[in-house]
């Protein structure tokens, strides 16, 4: 990519300013205790919660990976974003009241309170491994791929640079520094991402609307929201299952049981602030397909000269974002990578420190706990940087992330749903789900390869649900001794939240009705 002097100044200036802000936030306030470091002293307002949720979620896997899938499959891939908006509303209304009432730091901590230490420790280990070897690793790889494609920077140097960038506001400052830099980054990434989409649409049709109409006219198949069995990508997006099947498992896991997402809500000032922030994030999710999918479809229509789908977004930046704005658009991409990395690193650190290390060193001081958290954050970034180059043979990285996260998500969703809402669920039943989740997912993948992975997640969920029900019925003739009792009014939400939920449902109904 040919960067002008102005582009380079904007890009480098943005990185320097953000790193400086992150370091300032890290050392401005003393991180004396676990609540300060891991939950931002429970001081986050709704707009910070919502902005950080989206900044944590949008990363190279969306900009690069989802644009690549948009190039291949089209708007159907946006179901991940659109269904996530509904999921966020459900999580805010029915999950957050329980989590916040419990006063927890981590998802495994909730599992220990509801079940026992076996379930707690088993899933804590799974999550740490998943974050480091799938999430952090894939984001580093995709970010370095963007740097290589756009700026010609060697993959290894790109990975090292991203590790250093993310470390400036994720190691020392804890959740507070991560969230406040997220607010800056989500503003830049949405503006810069929309700018790239608007510019390529203008280039195609003379105006944004005409460009969009041209995409509809020249590639109508790319706007099918529900794929039929004849489509080559049916194996990844199996028709109606994206609405009523396995995608619910992926979304409920990611938005409702995933530490680096829920941690933002746990750090909110109050339940109402957390719920308003989550509704705000749901609105932003509805906007995201314009930023991350449209460029991929545009690259297809423009017959992009690329060797693999994941090069679609960098190709758009290189060819259609005008001089003076390339630096800003590229800064948006790096913002997405940096914010997601910092969130994943912080949550890896939180789970390892609070759920694996602290039970082994029960007398550890607050200062020592924070120190261990910082060490784990640094080590997770280093390991991710070492493993990231091994992903170089991937075709569509977004689908890789979804499929391999899907090895654990059905079991996690089963444990949380039954643990929260069925009082007879026993600890042994939950433990067997932990034990069987990954082996069952692997067995289904290798013995039924013809079944789309999303449907395999749904099938795995049903089998694990049957297991937890049978074992619990055998063991508990009445309510489990650790059952959660939901008092009247726990799920009551504010008029603001209810209005937002209705609007989001209406928007999604219109989208699916128009492009069914």
Q: Which CATH architecture has domain 5-390?
A: Up-down Bundle (1.20)
**What confidence tens digit (pLDDT) does each residue in 11-41 have?**
888 888 888 887 787 677 665 556 666 666 6
Residue with tokens 């489990």: 480
Q: Which residue has the tokens 């020249």?
A: 218
Single out the residue of 285, 382, 342 nearest to residue 62, CA to CA: 285
- Alpha carbon distance 61, 397 (integer Å): 7
- Cα distance between residue 307 and residue 149, in whole Å: 11
Using alpha carbons only, give the angle 411, 414, 418 rounded to the nearest 5 degrees: 150
| Six-digit token string for 340 | 């997601």
- What phi and psi values does residue 439 have, to the nearest 5 degrees? -55, -40
Helix count (H) and strand count (E) of the chain?
26, 0
Distance (Å, whole) CA 58 – CA 44 = 20
3-state class percentages of the chain: helix first, strand second, coil last, to nearest 5: 80, 0, 20
Q: For residues 263 and 477, is the Cβ–Cβ distance under 8 A?
A: no
Sequence ranges of the domains in the chain: 5-390
* Cα–Cα distance measured from residue 384 to residue 403, given in angstroms and rounded to the nearest whole number: 19
Whether 298 shows a pLDDT value over 70: the answer reads yes
Of the pLDDT bands very low, low, confident and very high (cuts 50, 70, 90), residue 149 is confident
Q: Which of 161-175, 305-319, 440-454, 493-507 has the highest average model confidence (pLDDT)?
A: 493-507
Task: Let me know how long the chain is.
Answer: 516
Q: Determine the 3-state secondary structure of 157 from DSSP.
A: helix
Cα distance between residue 503 and residue 510, in whole Å: 11
> Residue 330, Cβ neighbours under 10 Å: how many?
27
Task: Report whether 243 contacts 92 (CB < 8 A).
Answer: no
Q: Report helix, strand or coil for 452.
A: coil
Helix, strand or coil for residue 44?
A: strand
Mean pLDDT of 377-399: 79
Give every CB contact of residue 407 below 8 A, 6+ residues apart in sequence. 437, 438, 441, 442, 445
Q: What is the pLDDT of residues 423-465, one digit of tens each?
A: 999 999 999 998 999 899 989 988 888 888 888 889 999 999 9
pTM of the model: 0.86
Alpha carbon dihedral 247, 251, 257, 260, in 10-degree steps, equals 130
Q: DSSP labels for 180-222?
A: HHHHHHHHHHHHHHHHHHHHHHHHHHSSHHHHHHHHHHH-GGG
Helix H or strand E encompassing 304: none
Q: Which is nearest to 397 in space by CA: 147, 33, 66, 105?
A: 66
Q: Give DSSP secondary structure letters for 255-284.
A: HHS-HHHHHHHHTBSSHHHHHHHHHHHHHH
E strand or H helix at 230: none
Token output for 314: 């960098």
64-84 confidence digits (pLDDT tens): 778 888 898 888 888 888 999
Confidence of residue 94 (pLDDT cuts 50, 70, 90): very high
Smallest CA-to-CA distance from 127 within 402, 417, 371, 407 is with 407
pLDDT at residue 443, rounded to an integer: 92
Pairwise CA distance, residues 237 & 91, whole Å: 23
Q: What does the alpha-carbon distance between residue 71 and residue 296 come to, in Å, rounded to a whole number?
A: 4
Dihedral sign, Cα of residue 400, residue 402, residue 405, residue 406: negative
Q: Is residue 358 within 8 Å of 39, Cβ to Cβ?
A: no
| Pair of tokens at residue 25 | 């936030």
Say yes or no to pLDDT of 353 above 60: yes
Angstrom distance (rounded) from CA 240 to CA 356: 40
Cα separation, 178 vs 95, whole angstroms: 23
Most confident of 230-234, 236-240, 308-312, 442-446: 442-446
- Distance from C-alpha of 41 to C-alpha of 48, rounded to nearest angstrom: 14
Per-residue pLDDT at 196 exceeds 80: yes
- Bridge partners (DSSP) of residue 268 are 44
pLDDT tens profile 111-139? 999 999 999 898 899 889 888 988 888 88
């Amino acid at each position: 990519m040919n960067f002008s002097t102005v582009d380079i100044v904007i890009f480098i200036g943005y990185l320097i300013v953000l790193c400086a802000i992150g370091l300032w936030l890290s050392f401005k306030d003393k991180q004396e205790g676990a609540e300060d470091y891991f939950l931002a002293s429970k001081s986050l307002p709704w707009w910070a919660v919502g902005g950080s949720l989206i900044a944590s979620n949008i990363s190279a896997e969306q900009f690069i990976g989802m644009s690549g899938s948009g190039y291949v499959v089209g708007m159907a891939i946006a179901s991940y974003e659109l269904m996530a908006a509904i999921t966020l509303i459900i999580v805010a209304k029915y999950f957050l009241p329980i989590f916040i009432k419990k006063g927890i730091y981590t998802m495994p901590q909730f599992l220990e309170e509801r079940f026992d230490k076996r379930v707690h420790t088993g899933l804590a280990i799974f999550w740490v491994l998943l974050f480091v070897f799938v999430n952090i690793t894939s984001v580093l790889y995709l970010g370095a791929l963007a740097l290589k494609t756009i700026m010609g920077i060697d993959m290894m140097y790109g990975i090292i640079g991203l590790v250093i960038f993310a470390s400036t506001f994720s190691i020392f400052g804890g959740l507070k520094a991560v969230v406040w830099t997220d607010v800056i980054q989500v503003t830049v990434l949405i503006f810069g991402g929309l700018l790239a989409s608007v510019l390529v649409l203008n280039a195609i049709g003379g105006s944004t609307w005409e460009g969009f109409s041209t995409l509809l006219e020249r590639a109508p198949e790319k706007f099918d929201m529900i794929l039929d069995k004849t489509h080559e990508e049916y194996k990844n997006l199996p028709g109606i299952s994206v609405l009523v099947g396995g995608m619910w498992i992926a979304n409920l896991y990611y938005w409702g049981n995933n530490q680096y997402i829920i941690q933002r809500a746990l750090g909110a000032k109050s339940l109402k602030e957390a719920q308003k922030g989550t509704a705000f994030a749901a609105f932003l999710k509805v906007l995201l397909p314009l930023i991350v999918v449209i460029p991929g479809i545009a690259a297809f229509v423009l017959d992009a000269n690329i060797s693999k789908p994941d090069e679609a977004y960098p190709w758009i930046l290189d060819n259609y974002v005008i001089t003076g704005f390339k630096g800003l658009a590229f800064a948006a991409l790096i913002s997405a990578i940096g914010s997601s990395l910092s969130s994943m690193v912080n949550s890896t650190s939180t789970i390892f420190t609070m759920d694996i290390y602290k039970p082994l060193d029960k007398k550890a001081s607050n200062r020592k706990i924070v120190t261990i958290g910082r060490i784990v954050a640094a080590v997770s970034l280093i390991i991710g940087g070492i493993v990231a180059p091994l992903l170089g043979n991937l075709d569509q990285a977004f689908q890789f992330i979804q499929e391999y996260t899907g090895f654990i998500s059905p079991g996690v969703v089963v444990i949380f749903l039954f643990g929260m809402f069925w009082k007879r669920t026993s600890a042994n039943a939950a433990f067997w789900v932990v034990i069987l989740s990954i082996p069952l997912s692997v067995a289904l993948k290798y013995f039924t390869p013809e079944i789309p992975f999303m449907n395999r997640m749904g099938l795995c969920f049903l089998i694990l649900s049957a297991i937890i029900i049978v074992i619990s019925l055998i063991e508990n003739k009445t309510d489990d001794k650790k059952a959660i009792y939901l008092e009247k009014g726990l799920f009551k939400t504010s008029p603001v939240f209810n209005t937002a939920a209705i609007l989001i449902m209406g928007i999604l109904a219109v989208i699916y009705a128009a492009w069914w």
